[in-house]
Amino acid sequence: MAKPNVKRMWRDAVSGYSFMTPAILIIGGFLLLPIAYAIFLSFHKVNLLGTVSYKFTGTANFERMLDDPRLWIALRNTVKYALIVVPSQTILALVLAAILNMKLKYRNFFRVAFYLPTVTSSAVLVLIFMWIYNKNGLLNYFLEMVGLPTYNWLGDPSVALIGIMIMNIWSTAPLFMVIYLAALQDIPESLYEAAEIDGANGWKKFWRITVPQLKPVTFYVVVMGIIGTFQLFDQSYIFSAGSGGPNNATLTMVLLIYQYAFKSLDMGYASALAFLLAVVIMLITVIQRLIFKEEKLN
């Protein structure tokens, strides 16, 4: 058996790593290094005024979380937001995709029209909805027309977060609709034809064929929805002018991290909160994977 050409192996290795170097530098500089630095900060008290200094505090920043009432308010708001928005936008996206997958007239027009909110700037959408949610705005006008009670959507703590939920469901569902729509194209038509021969109606075909076939896509949509809802920041920031009000009703985890990091300049505690948020998202993702029991590729 011939000995391998060591020189050629080294040359191939150098060539391979040379091509990989740009990706390694970008991933290392903009992903791995910031993560490592954030973990480092979470164990220190950081002074950013004057001469930057780091004082090792051990687990003090993590112990402080137990006595921080605003953390538990932000966590409760974020979990409540996720529990309502993720199922709602997933179901709405699936229904819209199923409808637009039918042979309807002008369906291409509706596909484009429904997708438009996704490509619109988040800040612009928030400003539009703030106008709609105004005390004398469009939403209260229609509620009054049909005899329903009106609300101070921007100033009432009981409905402020609901207003953000409605806006995000409306603007995010079209993105997942496109993902579902692409997945629906891959379901063999023969499955529906066989079910029709067996006497299955439209609902049974949808529930027994479409939904199971879309299980891997649903797992992806739910995971991405959870990650997106736990990272809610810009809408809450603009709605409340950065305060998380009224009465902390729109305070989310990321907004709280922003406040500690850039308003209180407490980088150590803010990094610890960011680390906690990352752990929570990873745990939820693992639990979802166990629930969906996603099939592994051979």
Residues composing the chain: 298
Average the pLDDT over 232-254 and give the result. 91
Question: Is a pLDDT exceeding 80 seen at residue 294?
Answer: no
pLDDT in tens, 16-39: 888 999 999 998 889 889 899 999
Residue type, 93: A
Among 240, 73, 79, 74, residue whose Cα is nearest residue 160: 240
In order of their start, the domains of the chain are: 63-292 (1.10.3720.10)
pTM, to two decimals: 0.86
Contact assessment for residue 209 and residue 98, using Cβ atoms and an 8 Å cutoff = no
Residue 94 to residue 91: CA distance in whole angstroms? 5
Task: Flag whether pLDDT at 122 surpasses 90.
Answer: no
Average pLDDT value over all residues in the chain: 88
For the residues 247-273, what does the mean pLDDT come to?
A: 93
Q: How far apart are CA 27 and CA 295, in angstroms?
A: 29
What are 209-230's pLDDT values in tens digits?
Answer: 888 889 889 988 998 999 999 9
pLDDT reading at 5 higher than 90: no
Per-residue pLDDT at 298: 39
Q: What is the pLDDT of residues 149-208, one digit of tens each?
A: 888 888 889 899 999 999 999 989 999 999 999 998 888 888 888 888 888 887 888 888
Q: How far apart are CA 13 and CA 31, in angstroms?
A: 24
**4: pLDDT confidence band, cut at 50, 70 and 90?**
low
Instruction: Kindly state the percentage of the chain with pLDDT values over 90.
Output: 43
